[in-house]
Amino acid sequence: MTIDHLFNTGAGIAIMLLFVLAALAGAALTGLRRTRSAPPSGEWPLVGRPVLTKREREWHQAMLRACPGHHVFVQVALSQLIALEPDVARPTVLRNHFQQLVADFVICRADYDVVAVIEVDDSSHDRPSRRDSDARKQKAIESAGFRFARIPARCRPSESAVRQLLGLEPADEAKAKLA
């Protein structure tokens, strides 16, 4: 039996198709694997930085004073606050819209139920790319049923403004204090 004869029979064609399919499957699996380079040896060129800006620290202190008995968490990944409803179509697509985003502050009651998510917006929030992530962040937080508030960084922190944001003080009084 010659090679030409093998290619002219059904068995020969089937064998060739199996080889081609096996090669394609191997290539696909190799392409799907993530390759990671080894970390650099020696010292890494990294430096620490503050968790909060000066204004965020001021707001954090105001939140702690205004909310005794509450927990005030800083720089919380939205992926820790939000989960997809069961049976969501294309969950990865939806999750990709919020999983890398971080909330400035999350205020919780003593039982750790979320009361509100608060963002302190400085001038970096004026950039177009930042406005997009801010809109996605707000949509995700509100879709999950949480109270959401934005505070312009130029506003001076006050305990009454925090209480108003949490719904603990009439809005008219605190809005004047946020101006």
Instruction: Return per-residue pLDDT of the chain as tens, 179 residues.
Output: 555 555 566 666 666 666 666 666 666 666 555 556 888 888 999 999 999 888 889 889 999 999 999 999 999 999 999 999 888 888 888 888 788 899 999 999 999 999 999 998 876 767 777 888 899 999 999 999 999 999 888 887 788 888 887 877 766 554 555 54
**For residue 64, what pLDDT is reported?**
93
N residues, the chain? 179
N- to C-terminal Cα separation, the chain: 91
Q: Pairing relation of β-strands 102-108 and 71-77?
A: antiparallel
Give domain limits for the chain: 3-31, 54-178
The answer to whether the CB of 117 falls within 8 A of the CB of 148 is yes
Dihedral in degrees, nearest 10, Cα atoms 59, 61, 63, 69: 170
pTM of the model: 0.69
Q: How many CB atoms lie within 10 A of CB 147?
A: 15
**For residue 50, what pLDDT is reported?**
93
The Cα–Cα gap between 118 and 65 comes to 16
**For residue 167, what pLDDT is reported?**
79
Which residues are CB-contacts of 159 (< 8 A; sequence separation ≥ 6)? 62, 65, 66
Paired tokens of 108 = 């919780």
